[in-house]
Structure 1
Amino acid sequence: MSDIVRSLSTSGLTPKKQIQCWTEALTDLCGQFDVDPLEASSFEGRINYTTVSRLKLCQIEASQHRISHTVSRARLSEHPYVKILFQTQGISYFQQNGRHIEVMPGDCLAYDVSCPHTIISPSLTRHDVVIVPKELLQERGFRLARMSACKLSARTGTGRIAHDFVHAAFDEAAKLSPVNAIGVADSLIDLLLLPLREADAMFDRVGPEAMYVRAQAFIREHLRDPDLCIDQISAELGCTKRYLHMLFSDRGITVSDSIWHARLQNCRHELETQAGKTITDVAFSWGFSSSSHFSRVFRKYFGFVPSAIHKAQQGGLPSDVDLRA
């Protein structure tokens, strides 16, 4: 099964503990932030959160406050996420790169978490949030260099459909098998990007960019096929292998590496979430034909062998090995 819904609340804590609790919760979700309750004597916050594959879905309610990701914080830690926020109650004021955006109920805000920013909420706010690893967006032609905060409407059209899908995915997350969770996550990302595409915020719609997006989509759909190769992809897209090589090399990766990296990420996720599965079962289900080859490339990519995950689940992993890398 996929992840359960977890909850955190600052209710009943001392004011100092409330800020500490909220800061730690944000750090676990997407990075380090400074939290200020403004003029209030206490801070009341509640988060319900779950995961669908590698996406984090959150329902957040908070009293008046300000959160800041500062330049000093940026030097201390990485925030490799894009956050897509749907405001459902209250007004928030977002600031990033000299831009000031007012976010009201029915608005959707998409922004790069790694770039220093501040969000001020002068009264109670509620919002639904999807935290997306940047690499999942890069696979779909997302141009990080062009990323700037973008406010869209979730009241009608694709924005509303995307928000409805987020609600449904959150409610059903605990019932999804790991395989289905990957499919739902892929669909959710593509759906969330529809309103952004309409706004022409981050995508080139035609030419090489569109072809690259199509290639990545084909790879995701056929990732479990051990025979997946550049010949299949070029035939599906109706382009030459040379052109396909060029599309990927322009992004600093080969077609083959893109396939194997995606398989390894899915293998790691499955090993971490399905303790009963053997390493061989997981490797073969994602297109590897040799468990020894799988272990070798897994260690090269992640820095530890896949069996370390099982040892960690059994409490036998040395303390200096970090599986969150």
Structure 2
Amino acid sequence: MTTSFSTSEIAPQERLEFWRDVVCRTYVSVTCDPLECELDGQVTLYPFGFTQLTDISSSAASYKRTVEIIRQSPSEDLQFCLILDGSLSIEQAGQQAVLGAGDIGLYDAAQPFSLHLGERYRALNLKVPRPVLLARVADVDKLMARRFPGESKLGALVNSLLRESVRVGDFADEQLAARLCGSVVDILSAAIENELLGCRENNSRQGAQLDRIKCYMLERLGDTDLDIATIASECHMAPRTVHRLFAMEGTTAIRWLWQRRLAASYRALAEGHVRQVSEAAINFGFSDFSHFTRAFKKAFGIVPHSLLCKTH
């Protein structure tokens, strides 16, 4: 059901508290500092499959998510923002992007960020669970606080897609909503990954080796026999080289593999690609269902069956 909130009928002295509450409940917990004397804002929520699509407009404001706020109110959602009017500055993880009308940006609720809107603005925001995007884009963390230009061909495609998604409205059929939503996220992920990462030059021999290993593992997520010896042999490297390459990213090959397996199973469950939890587990390399459920809950804070119920 579509839901709207507006400050128009709220007393001026109560608007800041009201708007801060709306923003925190709709998106993620942040501080909110109006940059104009009279705060004016409106947001409309459009439930869309396993994501949340919103249309927000407001007077100038600044929002910040700090380490302390993250500790008190954790979230793993990723937020795509399409600017319709005005401008937005995103800062996260040492990156800064200034977005104008038509541009798209991405930020991560699990990491500190700041958003600065120096003028009245309007935007469409798509909130996507991290594992859903992680299952599509291996280097998703490299996309944060980057400008995806709206004037590019792919940018124009994404603009049209998100605008039309709002126009379509609610779906009573949850399975249909999940399928359509999955298609939208597929296109959005492919477009933004190609625009921001597709043309990168990897001049590092180690970087090229790591990319080759990751591609090999992603193609074999369902292989329960996949281990370091097999990965190293198939990629024509020594096991110690595999260990060293992943250590450069602060992880291990097996931990990276498990994270991608869990993300892929989350996607399959959330988007209705499987009819049973056991099917998701088997498809992505988990033979012990009890262990799969425990690992899934530890990673995402929910049991896998809770996602299955939403689409079947």
> Normalised by the shorter chain, which TM-score bucket?
0.5 to 0.7
Greater Cα shift, 277-286 or 159-168: 159-168
Q: How does 1:228-239 map to 2 (within 5 A)?
A: 228-230=226-228, 233-234=231-232, 237-239=235-237
Q: How does 1:1-325 map to 2 (within 5 A)?
A: 7-11=2-6, 14-15=10-11, 16=14, 20=18, 23-34=21-32, 36=34, 38-40=36-38, 42-51=40-49, 56=51, 58-69=53-64, 71=66, 73=69, 76-78=72-74, 80=76, 83-88=79-84, 90-94=85-89, 96=91, 103-111=99-107, 113=109, 114-120=111-117, 122-129=119-126, 131=128, 133=130, 136=134, 140-141=138-139, 149-164=145-160, 185=185, 188-197=188-197, 204=202, 206-230=204-228, 233-234=231-232, 237-267=235-265, 277-289=275-287, 293-299=288-294, 302-303=297-298, 310=305
Between the two proteins, the alignment pairs up a number of residues equal to: 297
Task: Give me the identity figure in percent.
Answer: 16
5+ unaligned residues in a row in structure 1: which ranges? 1-5, 315-325
Q: Deviations over 1:174-209 (max 9, x none)?
A: 666868976874664343122223686xx8564333
Letter in 2 for 1:60: D
Q: TM-score, normalised by structure 2?
A: 0.66
Q: Deviations over 1:206-264 (max 9, x none)?
A: 43334434433443343234455556655665545443333223334333333333333
Greater Cα shift, 16-25 or 254-263: 16-25
How far apart in 2 are the matches of 1:74 and 1:311? 24
How far apart in 1 are the matches of 2:71 and 2:127? 24
Cα distance change, pair 269–85 in 1 and its aligned pair in 2 (3 A) = closer
Describe the SS at the equivalent of 1:85.
Answer: strand
Describe the SS at the equivalent of 1:45.
Answer: strand
5+ unaligned residues in a row in structure 2: which ranges? none
Describe the SS at the equivalent of 1:140.
Answer: coil
How far apart in 1 are the matches of 2:72 and 2:137? 27
How far apart in 1 are the matches of 2:180 and 2:229? 28
Cα distance change, pair 279–211 in 1 and its aligned pair in 2 (3 A) = same
Letter in 2 for 1:192: I
